[in-house]
Structure 1
Amino acid sequence: MDSRFEEHLEQVGFNTLTPIQLAVADDLVTGQSIDALAPTGTGKTLAFTWPILPKIVPGDGEQLLVLAPSQELAMQTTRVMREWASILGLKVLAVTGGANVKRQIDSLKKHPEVLVGTPGRVHELVANGKLKLQRLRTLIVDEADVLLREETADQITDIWQSIADSEIQVALFGATELDAGKAETIFERVFKRIDQRDVTIPVTITHTFMPTANDQKNKRLRQLASRKNFQAIVFFNTTKALKTTASFLAHEHVAMATLVRGDSSSTRATALANFRNGKAKFLLTTDVAARGLDIQDLPAVLNFDVARDGETYTHRAGRTGRMGHQGVVVTFGNDHDLRDLKRQIQVDIQVITLSELLGQVGPAEQSQNASKERHSKAINQKQATDVKQSVKSEKTLSRQKTSVHSKPTLKGHVSPKKDDDEISPRQARLAKQKKAKRRHQKDKGKPRRKE
């Protein structure tokens, strides 16, 4: 390692290199083309940054190109590399989709030594003649198992054919194995395999499963959001489900951010910034959008939907417990989902409840209890109101009866019929006379019926 890097490592308190960082160093320094595999969260970005940057000549144009599958991963890699490139006086430029292409073209005129980009934007710039790669010495393909598939594989093939230089070093990095034959066909070379996936590393990730009905998943997120100092990336299988949950959480006033493919680069950057600085409890995303993301000291990953396969689950889980830190992966689902999960991954899975996850009665449960108390109080208040209204109605009815008895009967008005035991003989006689009089008036003028 360059002595200037060693000094900086001492300043930042970095003492031990990871297995993948040690394993690839010599081959990258000597120009060997490699296919490097290591678990997520083991420092692969620094594994290629430290050996290659000291080989670059300041002021000699574009010599290193790093390709990443997403804007977020490209920007993350850019930030890491800039820290170390500045020590050597090198410039690092991000060329990603979604960003202002005119500004990128203007920045390319300054001929930065290091470029970090997404295949789509790099392909566009190369095809339009805005990016020349004749000075390129090293090509890094990060998350190669994703990039060397379908559309992005075609874009990388076109980029490579514009260079077609067998002396350029190519290094593939990833956590899962790719089709070696396809890589050899595209780049016309045999890669040296460096596999560090079986090397023991200090990983402290707890894998858990929380039985949850589909219509209760959003409620479960709201409960977890009440826990102090709790943050998590929440993974969905579809963007539609993600947006539905985002609407629910927004209605419940839960601070969250969304990372969706297709959003503008500024929107996605803001979402990540809010999550990193703690303004958002949850980062809702899909597998493609969050590939390779590094959130420092992220406490948890939540699988709103069970991962489609073991490889996807591995990459999701790799967002927490990075570089030996503690982390927990929580998967929501039913018994069928639990069986699928056990088939996907060969690790111990703890079936837990919400209370067990929180460890003790925390703000989430307190919030629930407070809600129950408010509900109970509301019921008591309603019952008290009903009693008052009932008493009031009885008093009103009593006053009405008193009023009927005390007021004189108007002409033509028939008093309400009373029970026999309440009518005096005089009242009964008068009522009988009035009834006879009405009948007489009614029959007046009509012919009498013959007997």
Structure 2
Amino acid sequence: MHQQFEEKIQSSGFSELTPIQKAVYEPLKDGRSIDALAPTGTGKTLAFTWPLLENVTPDDGEQLLVLAPSQELAMQTTHVMREWASTLGLKVLSLTGGANIKNQLDRLKKHPEVLVGTPGRVVELINNNKLKLGRLRTLVLDEADELLRDDTAKQVDEIWDAIDNSDVQVALFGATEVDEKIAAGVFDREFERIDQRDVPMPTKIEHEFWLTATDQRNKRLRQLAAQKKMQAMVFFNTTKQLKMTANFLAHEHIGMATLVRGDSSSTRERAMRSFKNGDAKFLLTTDVGARGLDIPDLPVVINFDLPRDGETYTHRSGRTGRMGKNGLVITFGNDHDARDLKRMVAVDIEVVKGRPRLLENDSAILRNSRAGGNNKPSSRPSSGKGKAATKVAQPKKNVTVKTDDSDKPSTSAKKAQSS
């Protein structure tokens, strides 16, 4: 590893690299195309950041392009990569929809070595002859399974056609598998599979199902808001229900922020800042927020509605218990929903019929969480000795739940440990 990176890692308080960070370092440094899989919250962003930045030559044009499925993940990845790129004198530019395109064009004229963007904006710039990728050496797909679906896969294909260089290294990263036929069809190559999903990390995520009638779910949130140090991401299947709950919480004067598809980039940034600063108890979102977002020490994730499938449950759950921390995932629903959920995921789920432990102010989950706005990220745990590793929830295949799909998710080491 580059000496400056080693020094920065040591000064940042890292005790060791995570399994995925160790496993992909040499293959990426050697220029090999890989398909890397690891549980959410295991530091995948830094896993590709370190070796790929070392391969970039300063002042030699656009050499590394990272694609992300959402504006939030792209901005988060930009922040992480910019911090490490500055150590080597490299420039990183974010290219996302919803942001000021004129500013992006002005910065493109300086030929930043590293680009991080969403497929829609990158395609727009290519089609308008504002972005040339002739010098590109490496393409990364962060949350590759999401990027290689539906219309987004077509945009990725357009970007690949614009690169027009079969020697470009391609790295696929995610927590769930990519359709190999689609990946091979787009990139016309075989990938070296690096699968770290079964490598245990010292973590303990608890999974609870709270039997809660539909008309009592908002009241449950009100009860949770009264708990000290409470902060949670609350996931909804539809924007309609999200807005109804947001109105309820606003009427109750409970601090909350929302992430809704169609919001401007600045609105999304304000929402994330409010939540990360501790000004908001709850961050209400649909599955647009489930991919890759890193909120250090987030104690609780709440499924207001039963997730559509096991994969969705896995990605929602991955917002807590990151980098070896403890966390709690709560799902609201009835007996039928509880049975469906247990069929969806291969993880132990406690069905809570009485008063949940979390509604007691001495809850260990909240007691050990960040207080108020104290939101400083912590480093990777040293070894986890003495603690049993809990298996990360993995979806069971071919189990789905029918829901109102009026708002399907869009397809369009110390600081910031991204998924």
TM-score interval, smaller chain: 0.7 to 0.9
The higher-RCO structure (CA 8 Å, 6+ apart) is 2
Q: What is the one-letter code of the residue matched to 2:239?
A: T
Tell me if 1:193 matches 2:204: no
What residue in structure 1 maps to residue 313 of structure 2?
313
Residues 28-55 of structure 1, C-alpha deviations (whole Å, 9 max, x = no match): 0000000111110010000000111011
Question: Does the alignment pair 1:293 with 2:293?
Answer: yes
2: CA distance between counterparts of 1:280 and 1:354?
A: 27
2:48 maps to 48
Greater fraction of residues in helix = 1
In the TM superposition, what whole-angstrom CA distance separates every residue of 1:335-370 from its partner, at most 9, and x where no partner exists?
A: 01100010011111112257433263579xxxxxxx
3-state DSSP of counterpart to 2:356: helix
CA, structure 1 residues 126+354, in 2 after alignment: closer, same or farther (shift >3 Å)?
farther
- d(CA) in 2 for partners of 1:222 and 1:212? 13
Q: 1:289 Cα shift?
A: 3.3
SS of the equivalent of 2:298 reads coil
1:361–1:167 CA distance, 2 compared to 1 (3 A): closer
User: Would the aligned equivalents of 1:133 and 1:163 in 2 still touch at CA under 8 Å?
Assistant: yes
| Equivalences for residues 124-143 of structure 1 within 5 A | 124-143=124-143
Give me the whole-angstrom Cα distance separating, in 2, the residues matched to 1:148 and 1:326: 31
1:336–1:36: structure 2 CA closer, same or farther, 3 Å change rule?
same
Residue 181 of structure 1: how far off its partner (Å) = 1.2
Tell me, yes or no, if the aligned pair for 1:227 and 1:362 is still in contact at 8 Å.
no
Q: Secondary structure at the match of 1:262?
A: coil
The separation in 1 between residues aligned to 2:206 and 2:124, in whole angstroms, is 43
Check whether the contact 2:227–2:360 (CA below 8 A) recurs between aligned residues: no
- Unpaired stretches in structure 1, ≥5 consecutive residues: 364-451
- 1:152 corresponding residue in structure 2: 152
Query: How far apart, CA to CA, are the structure 1 residues paired with 2:110 and 2:157?
Result: 26
Distance 1:215 1:359, change over 3 A: closer
Whichever residue aligns with residue 37 of structure 2, its letter is L
What is the DSSP-based 3-state SS (H/G/I as helix, E as strand, rest coil) of the residue aligned with 1:288? helix
Identity of aligned residues (%): 68
Alpha-carbon separation, structure 2, partners of 1:59 and 1:2 = 18
Q: Take 2:56 and 2:174, find their aligned partners in 1: how far apart are those partners?
A: 23
Say if 2:290 and 2:315, in contact at 8 Å, map to a contact too: no
State the TM-score, normalized to the length of structure 2. 0.85
2:407 matched to which residue of 1? none
Partners of 1:361 and 1:296 lie apart in 2 by 21
User: How far is the alpha carbon of 1:164 from its aligned partner?
Assistant: 1.5
Distance in 1, Cα, partners of 2:103 & 2:142: 25
**What residue identity is the alignment partner of 1:27?**
P
Q: Which amino acid aligns with 2:250?
A: A
- CA–CA distance in 2 between the matches of 1:25 and 1:59? 24
Equivalent position of 1:101 in the other structure? 101
Compute the TM-score of the two structures, normalised by the length of structure 1. 0.79
In our comparison, the structure showing a higher alpha carbon Rg is 1
Do 2:204 and 2:326's aligned partners in 1 also have CA atoms closer than 8 Å?
yes
Give the unaligned 5+ runs of structure 2: 364-419
Aligned partners of 1:190 and 1:80: how far apart in 2? 29
**For the aligned residues, what is the CA RMSD?**
1.2
1:292-441 matches, within 5 Å, as: 292-352=292-352, 355-358=355-358, 360=360
**Partner amino acid, structure 1, of 2:19:** P
* Matched ranges for 1:215-234 at <5 A: 215-234=215-234
Deviations 1:60-89 (A, max 9, x none): 111100000000000000111111001000
Residue 169 of structure 1 deviates from its aligned partner by 0.3
Q: Within 5 A, what are the aligned runs for 1:162-241? A: 162-241=162-241
Which residue identity does 2:180 align to in structure 1? A
| Alpha carbons 1:259, 1:290 under 8 Å: kept | no
Matches within 5 A, 1:220-299: 220-299=220-299
- The aligned residue for residue 35 of structure 1 is 35
Give the counterpart letter for 1:199 in structure 2.
Answer: V
Q: Provide Cα deviations, 1:143-168, integer angstroms capped at 9, x if missing partner.
A: 00000011110011011101110110
Residues in 2 aligned to 1:260 and 1:224: alpha-carbon distance in whole angstroms: 22
Counterpart-to-counterpart distance in 1, 2:331 and 2:87: 42
Query: How many corresponding residue pairs?
Result: 363
Q: CA deviation at 1:198?
A: 1.1
Which amino acid letter does the alignment assign opposite residue 164 of structure 2? A
Contact 2:97–2:120 under 8 Å retained in 1: yes
* 1:444 matched residue in structure 2: none
Q: Deviations over 1:360-411 (max 9, x none)?
A: 3579xxxxxxxxxxxxxxxxxxxxxxxxxxxxxxxxxxxxxxxxxxxxxxxx
Contact 1:33 1:171 in 2 (8 A): yes
Contact 1:208 1:331 in 2 (8 A): yes
Amino acid at match of 2:315: H
Amino acid at match of 1:157: D
SS in 1 for 2:327: strand
Preserved contact between residue 261 and residue 289 of structure 1 (Cα < 8 Å)? no
| Structure 1 SS opposite 2:288 | coil
Q: What per-residue deviation string (whole Å, max 9, x for no partner) do you get for residues 177-206 of structure 1?
A: 111111111111111111111111112100
1:425-449 residue CA offsets vs partner (Å, 9 max, x unmatched) = xxxxxxxxxxxxxxxxxxxxxxxxx
Report if aligned partners of 2:256, 2:282 keep a CA contact under 8 Å in 1: yes
Give secondary structure in 2 for the equivalent of 1:218.
helix
Deviation at 1:305, TM superposition (A): 0.5
CA distance in 2 between partners of 1:175 and 1:89 (Å): 31
Q: CA deviation at 1:227?
A: 0.8
Whether the 8 Å contact between 2:228 and 2:361 is mirrored in structure 1 is no
Three-state SS of the structure 2 residue aligned to 1:329 is strand
CA distance in 2, matches of 1:34, 1:45: 14
Q: Cα deviation per residue 1:263-297 (whole Å; 9 max; x = unaligned)?
A: 00000000000000000000000112331100000
